[in-house]
Structure 1
Amino acid sequence: MPFRKWDCPMSFFRSSALVFPLFMGFLALAPGCTPLTDYYANGFKVGPQYSRPPAPVADDWIDNSDKRILKDPDEHRKWWTVFNDTNLDNLICSASNQNLKVREAGYRVLASRAELAIAIGRIMPQQQFVQGSFSQNALSIEVANRQFIPQNFYPQFNYGLGIAWELDFWGKYRRTVESAANNLDANIEEFDDFMVLLLADVVEAYTRMRYFERVVDLLKENIEFQKISLTIATARFKGGLASELDVDQGQSDLSFTESQVPLFQRLARLENNRLCLLLGISPEDLEKKIGPGKIPVAPKTVAVGIPAELITRRPDVRKVEREAAAECARIGVATADLYPHISLDGAIGANSMTWNNLFNPKAMYGSIAPGFRWNVLNYGRLINHVRLQDAKFQAAVARYQNTVVTAGKEVEDGLAEFLRAQEQTAEMEKSVTAIRKAGDLVIVQYRAGTTDFNRVSLVQEKRVSRELELAQAQFYIAEGLVKTYKALGGGWQIRLDGCSLAESIKLDPPKKELPKPEGAKESP
């Protein structure tokens, strides 16, 4: 494929002690089909050299001609501030500092950092030891040539150190470091992606809560309006000017509208509880701290840049790209097992029967043992391991390309909702203005007896419906903008920029340490 190529290694070390194993390694490479120069160009490492895979990206947005879509480059570092809502800003700050999922992702970054340090350590001698011992020995009288051994009992002192070092001739351990480094990068991007999703979820939950609260307020306003209609119908019935049907119909309309209030209060409470979860706190009534509010008002325009910027802008795209790089490096690790393992073992120490002579130069011993090990009878397993890693890499590439395509689709979805909801709101505002005027007029006509209660009921029903639809359209504008910013991948920079929290919204953060069981004692 165009984004990776295979490498054939060549000998580099000059030590005479390694001539034979290096020569055998060269023979192993001789039948290869790729140039040995690639091995040199790759830093003396076998396996494919990674480069970013191609991904399908649109040339422009579908609604690129709409003046509300701006092509100006923007990192959207604090995109939620476009709503000019202080309560929302404070909730964002609290969530970024306290959310438990983000904290979990942060610990995964620390774990990956430790794994990288471990991988780097494997480049050094893989085994090192320092040892010392003393033993008191007794010889059997039945051993051969016992008569020539003067002592039946003797002590033995010894100390020494040794190493076992598999040289990274084919780049196996350096490829492992590459993989670990890419995994660390992927986990950092995952952390940033969690932050993007978290901030968008906070804004969405807050907007939904405000929307449901607005619906409750509208229902209560219409309940008062319907109570007036019912009062007029009751008075006309008692005066013999209307039938009892008008009263029953008015009561039915009123009771139905009242029944909708608990429904939307429940939905508002669910979003309140969702916000608490995102803040990393136990459920509580947030309205006591943030007070009532309106549906966040979105601006008319949004800066989205160009589609190609999504590849470098979105943390989830960067994450899967780094995962593909890690899988590519693992192909090199598997490929290195096809070639001889060149090692260097060594030891130095001293043996003596007396403590006084233990540090005498004559008691010293030492050894150095270069060697190689070649799994020539395991090629079926080793080659299939390479194929396995290659398949994982190809799957990671496909996942990366799909993530890029999904990113473009999510931006288009958000823009479509944002733009069309604005157009819907403009028309719904006209409709609501007209139906409110009709509602006032129909009451006057019914009071005068020039229209029946069916007209009153119909107008009131349409008034409730139109006002709720207007509130929904206003919510869709904000929701569409949130989805757009979320799809653009902005906001993760809050971990770099930080934020300040107003005193009025400060919440108790989750504890970092678990409480001790009752009766537990302090460790000595």
Structure 2
Amino acid sequence: MKLFILRFFCILPACMLAGCFQVGPVYKTPVVKTENIWLAESDSTITAKSIVDPRWWASSFKDPQLDHLIDLALGQNLSLLSAGLRVLQAQQQLAIAIGNQYPQQQQLSGSSSRQKANAITFNNYSLGFNVGWEADLWGRFRYQVESAAAGLDGSVAAYDGVLISLVAQVAQNYVLMRTYQQRLAVARENILLQEKSLQIAKAKLQAGEVSELDVDQAESLLHNTRASVPSYEASIQQLKNGMAILLGTTPAKFNDLIMNKEPIPRTSVTVAVGMPQDLIRRRPDVRLAERQLAAQSANIGFAITDLYPHLTIGGAIGTSSVKSSDLFTNDTKTWSLFGMFEWNIFNYGRLKSNVRLQDAVFQQLLVDYLNNILVAQGEVEDAIVGYVKSHEQLAIYEQAAAASQRAVRISSIQYQEGSIPFNTLITTLQSNLQQQDLLVASEGQAAVNLVSVYKALGGGWEIRKNQDPVNLLPVEMKKAMIERTEAWKGVLVE
């Protein structure tokens, strides 16, 4: 009998796995058609022959300050840390799903008692072990594993999406901050020019060469230009505050990080965008949508298994004795085997409705996946044309700004000589302020548009080099989690 019980527990797993088969759908990644070329591929600033550089911000802008800020954000941003912890949660959900494939009930029990009746004392000691296992006849638990595995992949894709968004936000905020600093510098340079013109107008008024109208016009223009300074200063500080949040620090601490003033990062002439087909592999939101689709396919299979009977088998062995020393040597042994099945035949209509529900969700996610790919292609096309046209616009504004500076120099001399009225000089000064500001704004916009191109392409997440996002969590955080519960030992690597 002992040999029979031992064999039973040895062959139980093999018996339960043998003959198991899945009754639901087998998931296959949908075949999606994409365009072969980008619309603006013929433009000299775009090349599809080269792949997207994972560290595009470093190769495109070559700005050490920006590189440093992005490195800080990758290590400190709280949203990215939260995304990494969601990956950790998904890993544990997968581990739970895998564990469900093994005996769901495993229990070691023991007891001791002492009774007295009619002046006689009785002792009783017992020890037993029982196990129960629901056979995965229809792939029920394997579908749970499949769904959890797809969910883990999806959480990694979501992490990559947060990483790309973070890098793009830091780069855009940095470019905008430098742009507003340059616009502020332009305003102050024009204030100096306008102050000089006001002094000339006052001198000519004292000499009786002009009326007070020239002085009033000069003062009006000067004060309007001075009024733009607080607006630029407010925008710069607000961008610094936003950058501080991205870096996971306070605005006061960030101000200490970036006190110096640098020019707007210049964009590279040619942008490597890769092929349109690469979007499906590269864009994290597309990968996430596909993984959600895979997880939902497994949910359909899980729902289908409810239509079939559930078989559970198990057994128990034990021993008892009136003396604890005889617990393992006496002949009082107990064992039992059992088998049972459940079949919800009276809930068949509700269960089939759940199957239809899960399939409808799958179909909706499939449509969402296809739509994501279309949206991704549209976003890239929008970003590319925005970048290309902003470069064309920048070249034109550079010519206009150079002409306006020459016009200011000439008109200032001619006004002093009395060759032109002050209205002409005022018009020239106004135009110069506008043209210089437009040039700076256009330069900043070209850089922002380049960031948008790389963000739309989904470039940047490759910098983690296939490392598990959980391994990128701060060591201090892992230590705190291990101190809170030792269950993390052996799971979290410090």
- Shorter-chain TM band: 0.7 to 0.9
Q: Deviations over 1:350-408 (max 9, x none)?
A: 23344454334521111111221111111122112212222222222222222211211
Structure 2 residue aligned with 1:214: 182
Alignment-mate amino acid for residue 372 of structure 2: T
Q: Deviations over 1:473-515 (max 9, x none)?
A: 11121111100111111111222399xxxxxxxxxx9974999
Maintained 8 Å contact 1:341/1:374: yes
Structure 2 residue aligned with 1:147: none
Deviation at 1:286, TM superposition (A): 4.5
1-side partners of 2:62 and 2:364: how far apart?
43
Structure 1 residue aligned with 2:315: 346
Q: Does residue 195 in structure 1 map to residue 172 in structure 2? A: no
Secondary structure at 1:173 match in 2? helix
Report the CA distance shift for 1:430/1:75 in structure 2 as closer, same or farther (over 3 A): closer
2-side partners of 1:274 and 1:408: how far apart?
29
Q: Deviations over 1:58-117 (max 9, x none)?
A: 332111221221012414211001211111111111111111111111111111111111
Q: Does residue 108 in structure 1 map to residue 86 in structure 2? A: yes
2-side partners of 1:442 and 1:512: how far apart?
65
Maintained 8 Å contact 2:52/2:272: no
Instruction: State the number of aligned residues.
Output: 457
Secondary structure at 1:220 match in 2? helix
Paired residues for 1:216-231 under 5 Å: 216-231=184-199
Alignment-mate amino acid for residue 256 of structure 1: N
Q: Does residue 293 in structure 1 map to residue 270 in structure 2? A: no
2-side partners of 1:285 and 1:420: how far apart?
38
Q: Deviations over 1:384-443 (max 9, x none)?
A: 221222222222222222221121111112111110011111111111111111111111
Give TM-score scaled by structure 2 length.
Answer: 0.87
Structure 1 residue aligned with 2:45: 68
Deviation at 1:153, TM superposition (A): 6.7
2:356 to 376, 380, 387: 387
2:287 to 306, 314, 318: 318
Deviation at 1:157, TM superposition (A): 2.4
Give TM-score scaled by structure 1 length.
Answer: 0.83
Report the CA distance shift for 1:417/1:510 in structure 2 as closer, same or farther (over 3 A): farther
Q: Deviations over 1:175-200 (max 9, x none)?
A: 10011111111111111111111111
Q: Does residue 85 in structure 1 map to residue 63 in structure 2? A: yes
Maintained 8 Å contact 1:345/1:370: yes
Secondary structure at 2:293 match in 1? helix
Deviation at 1:122, TM superposition (A): 0.5
Q: Deviations over 1:164-218 (max 9, x none)?
A: 1001110000110011111111111111111111111111010000000000000
Deviation at 1:471, TM superposition (A): 1.0
Q: Does residue 258 in structure 1 map to residue 226 in structure 2? A: yes
Maintained 8 Å contact 1:280/1:510: no
Structure 2 residue aligned with 1:10: none
2:213 to 245, 248, 255: 245
2-side partners of 1:151 and 1:346: how far apart?
38
Report the CA distance shift for 1:72/1:454 in structure 2 as closer, same or farther (over 3 A): same
1:468 to 434, 437, 453: 437
Q: Deviations over 1:132-183 (max 9, x none)?
A: 11234578xxxxxxxxxx9987443221010110011100001100111111
Structure 2 residue aligned with 1:6: none
CA RMSD of aligned residues (A): 2.5
Q: Which stretch of structure 1 is more off in the superposition, 152-161 or 194-203?
A: 152-161
2:413 to 444, 448, 458: 444
State the identity as a percent: 39
Secondary structure at 2:420 match in 1? coil
Maintained 8 Å contact 1:115/1:180: yes
Alignment-mate amino acid for residue 445 of structure 1: Q
Alignment-mate amino acid for residue 412 of structure 1: E
Q: Deviations over 1:322-365 (max 9, x none)?
A: 11111111111111111010111211102334445433452111
1:417 to 356, 380, 386: 386
Maintained 8 Å contact 2:52/2:274: no
Point out where structure 1 has 5 or more consecutive residues left out of the alignment.
1-16, 23-39, 140-149, 499-508, 516-524
Deviation at 1:467, TM superposition (A): 0.9
Maintained 8 Å contact 1:190/1:315: yes
Secondary structure at 1:51 match in 2? coil
Structure 2 residue aligned with 1:37: none
Alignment-mate amino acid for residue 77 of structure 2: N
Structure 1 residue aligned with 2:425: 456
Structure 1 residue aligned with 2:4: none
Alignment-mate amino acid for residue 235 of structure 2: L
Structure 1 residue aligned with 2:21: 44
Q: Which stretch of structure 1 is more off in the superposition, 172-181 or 467-476?
A: 467-476
Q: Which structure dedicates a bigger proportion of its chain to helix?
A: 2
Maintained 8 Å contact 2:52/2:273: no
Q: Does residue 172 in structure 1 map to residue 140 in structure 2? A: yes
